[in-house]
Amino acid sequence: MTADITELYGIPGGVIVSSVVKNGPADKAGVKKGDIITELDGRSVSNMEQLQDTLQYYAAGETVSVVTQRASNGKYQPQTLSITLGSAKDAGQQ
């Protein structure tokens, strides 16, 4: 999402969750479609490339703290979730 769009519509900058794999790590942690990921383990996330770059330093089975913004009554509210990471190989098989 570009800075112009976030500013124009009052949407937090980050990575929009377009889908969540049923029973996958994100689903189990409470991540919902439409959430916006803004932090991963204390590091700001403003785009998918940053998110992927940060995730490469973690192994499957590690638990990370993720801050998401979720729309509620027209405003975005932050939520901190703990996600136990799966492997990229497993994600491709679901």
- DSSP conformation letters of 52-94: HHHHTTS-TT-EEEEEEEEEETTEEEEEEEEEE---HHHHHH-
**pLDDT bucket at 3, cuts 50 / 70 / 90:** low
**pLDDT bucket at 94, cuts 50 / 70 / 90:** very low
Give the 3-state secondary structure of residue 48. Answer: helix
Q: What is the pTM of this model?
A: 0.83
Q: Let me know: does 59 contact 41? Beta carbons within 8 Å.
A: no
Dist. CA 91–CA 49, nearest whole Å: 18
pLDDT in the model for residue 73? 85
> CATH number of the domain at 3-86, out of 3.40.1260.10, 2.30.42.10, 1.10.3720.10, 3.40.630.30?
2.30.42.10
Give residue-wise pLDDT tens across range 6-46: 666 667 889 999 999 999 999 999 999 999 999 999 999 98
